[in-house]
Amino acid sequence: MTSPVDLLGMYLHLARTAAQRQRPLVRDRLLVLAAAIASDLQLPAIAACCRARVLEHNPGHLLQRWPTVAEASEYEEFSTLRRQLVRKYSPERAEQLMQSLKIEWHSERAAYYSDEEYAAALLGLTVDDLVRQYGMGGI
């Protein structure tokens, strides 16, 4: 079974690849899943960054209704969206996509001090960047 932080990493890798392939809707779906997992993992700055990136591209997205992903998670509308996205991009499907794209990630997390630092790096940021942009951080 895939750990939550590994799943977060997979979704962030896949979101980055979708952006590179100019597939913004796929990227947004993966970022929503990453945001939800980051919120579950108590990584509010990662969740906020993912949310902001979705809203930059799609200001009318369901996420705009709530100031944070943690708050959105309390509502059935968001929970329904999350379940739909998990069905489409299950952990097994995400792993298959990672393998088909030849993305090596299995031991990547061990190179970082924290889950937050790992996720920030996958977003192209540092923890300091997250603190500056979103005013929160766990380190």
Domain ranges of the chain: 4-134
Q: Residue 36's closest CA among 2, 61, 11?
A: 11
- Residue 24 is inside which H or E element, if any? helix 24-40
| Burial readout 75-113 (b: 16 or more C-beta within 10 A, e: otherwise) | eeebeebbeebeeebebeebbebbeeeebeeeeebeebe
CA distances from 22 to 100, 112, 131 (A): 18, 29, 28
Per-residue pLDDT of the chain (139 residues; tens, 9 = 90+): 678 999 999 999 999 999 999 999 999 999 999 999 999 999 999 999 999 999 998 999 999 999 999 999 999 999 999 999 999 999 999 989 988 888 776 667 778 889 999 999 999 999 999 989 987 654 3
The pLDDT of residue 24 is 95
Residue 41: DSSP 8-state: T
Model confidence, pTM: 0.91
The pLDDT of residue 111 is 81
